[in-house]
């Protein structure tokens, strides 16, 4: 199985500041035939189901604020919230859909400092 490891497990950021979450996979998620990284990011607010933010590692889902961005390739990926808002308090998960079974990172909790 592909192991997804997120860091940090939690972080506290001041309103308006940048939040950065890392996700590392145990093998490359880059499919050479289409040059796509099979990596998505999800946001889960308390008591709610997860919501898709980013897919193909860097494509923002329709309706997601542009302060959310994804980057990286191969085995190392990053979700960046450029200016943290109160509405962004949540747990964030990365998920790979390259290998079987698809696997999630353990989650990163983002709070306001």
Partner 1 sequence: EVQLLESGGGLVQPGGSLRLSCTASGMTFSKNAMSWVRQGPGKGLEWVSTIVAGGDTTYYADSVKGRFTISRDNLKNSLYLQMNSLRAEDTAIYYCTKVAAGTWYYYIDAWGKGTTVTVSS
Single out the segment in contact with partner 1 by CB under 8 A; choices: 17-25, 67-75, 80-88, 104-112.
104-112
In sequence order, what are the beta bridge partners of 70?
A: 79
Least Å from the CB of residue 86 to partner 1: 23
| No. of helices (H) and no. of strands (E), the chain | 0, 13
Identify which range of 12-20, 21-29, 49-57, 70-78 contacts partner 1 by CB under 8 A.
49-57
- Residue partners of 73: CB distance under 8 A and separation at least 6: 30, 37, 57
Are 93 and 107 spatial neighbours (Cβ–Cβ below 8 Å)? yes
One character per residue 22-41, x = contact with partner 1 (rule: CB under 8 A): ----------------x-x-
Q: Which is nearer to partner 1, 75 or 106 (CB)?
A: 106
**Alpha-carbon distance 4 to 79, whole Å?**
14
* Residues of this chain that bind partner 1 (CB under 8 A): 38, 40, 42, 44, 48-52, 55-56, 61, 93, 95, 97-98, 100-107
């Amino acid at each position: 199985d592909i192991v997804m490891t997120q860091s940090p497990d939690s972080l506290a950021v001041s309103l308006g500041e940048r939040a950065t979450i890392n996700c590392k996979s145990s093998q490359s998620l880059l499919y050479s035939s289409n040059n796509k990284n099979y990596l998505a990011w999800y946001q889960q607010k308390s008591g709610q189901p997860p919501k898709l933010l980013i897919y193909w590692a860097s494509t923002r889902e329709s309706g997601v604020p542009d302060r959310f961005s994804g980057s990286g390739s191969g085995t190392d990926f990053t979700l960046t919230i450029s200016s943290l808002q109160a509405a962004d308090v949540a747990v964030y998960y990365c998920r790979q859909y390259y290998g079987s079974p698809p696997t999630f990172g353990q989650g990163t909790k983002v709070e306001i400092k």
